[in-house]
Structure 1
Amino acid sequence: MDVETKIKEDMRGLGCESDIKISLAYQLYIHLIDEKLMYDTEYCYNKDIDALYIVARPSKNEKMNIYVPIPTSEDISMDKINEMQENLCTIETGPAINLAFTEADSTTVIYSFTKGLIERQNVEKAAANRNERRSFINSELKKNKNNILNDAMNGGIVDEDDCMILE
């Protein structure tokens, strides 16, 4: 039995039934060992979220990092990332999770997501806030249009309190 078959059987033995997830995890596992030269590299499975992932140390003295293989063809939402963080992150690994987006030709790009840095605002809410600000500015401009034009034409009025005389 060759090494690839043995590793893939071990991954299946953890409880993962998906051939695609096993293949992606195997590619990532080899990538982290051979190309990234990671330490203490292990594959793990979380049945609650059906995720096969890799834990590894970038150097001997660093903490364990979590790497989740994701095919580039899969759409992934912030809710899914939050779910992975909730189920995979531990005190030992910290609040970060690394998503390893893998292309069909084995090209792998890794992005880190750290929980708790900032909550991303809902797209609809952000658009509503932007529109509300625009409406407020437009109404203020319309309300003060005559004063703004008058000040622009006459150079404006400067109160003595606004000026400081330099001697």
Structure 2
Amino acid sequence: MDVEVKIKEDMKKLGCKCEKKISLAYFLYIYLVDQKLMYDTEYCYNKDIDTLYVVAKPNRNDKLNIYVPVPTNQDVSMDLINVLQENLCTVETGPSINLAFIESDFTTVIYTFTKGLAERPSADATSLMRQKEERRSFINSELKKNKSAILNEALNGGVVDDDDCQVLE
């Protein structure tokens, strides 16, 4: 029996029914074994989130890393990454997950996402920070435009017209 056929049959036996997921996981498995020369490489399936993934060690004494194949035409959100981390990460693998983005020509780029490095601000907080930054930028640009006039007024004592003043009693 052909190696590819056997591995894909094993992946089906794990519970995955999607041919595309099986093909991507097979390619990632072969990529990690043959090109990256990883150790203890195994393919796994999580039925709760219907995900085929590969675990492997980059070096003989490293801990297992999780590699999830993702086609480049699939949208990836922080929610998806959180779901993958919560369902796949263990004490043995740690809080990191590697997404292996695979192009149609099988070009592969791997990105690592580690849970807990920094809290992601909410959309409202991000919007508020952006507004503050825009305001700060506007004020700085106005100060730069009027720098010479402001300095001149400050050096000359800031003459005020009588029309601008009110007498309070």
Q: Does TM-score exceed 0.5, indicating one fold?
A: yes
Structure 1: runs of 5+ lacking an equivalent = 143-147, 158-167
Alignment size in residue pairs: 153
Contact 1:54 1:67 survives alignment (8 Å): yes
Structure 2: runs of 5+ lacking an equivalent = 157-169
Distance 1:22 1:129, change over 3 A: same
Contact 1:66 1:97 survives alignment (8 Å): yes
CA RMSD of aligned residues (A): 2.5
Larger Rg: 2
Answering whether residue 148 of structure 2 is matched by residue 152 of structure 1, we say no
CA distance in 1, matches of 2:39, 2:19: 26
Alignment of 1:13-162 (within 5 A): 13-132=13-132, 134-135=134-135, 151-154=150-153
Runs of 4+ aligned residues of structure 1 deviating over 3 Å after TM superposition are 122-125, 132-139, 148-151, 154-157
Letter in 1 for 2:17: E
CA distance in 1, matches of 2:132, 2:113: 31
Q: Secondary structure at the match of 1:90?
A: coil
Distance 1:7 1:123, change over 3 A: same
Letter in 1 for 2:105: D
Contact 1:71 1:103 survives alignment (8 Å): yes
CA distance in 2, matches of 1:127, 1:13: 47
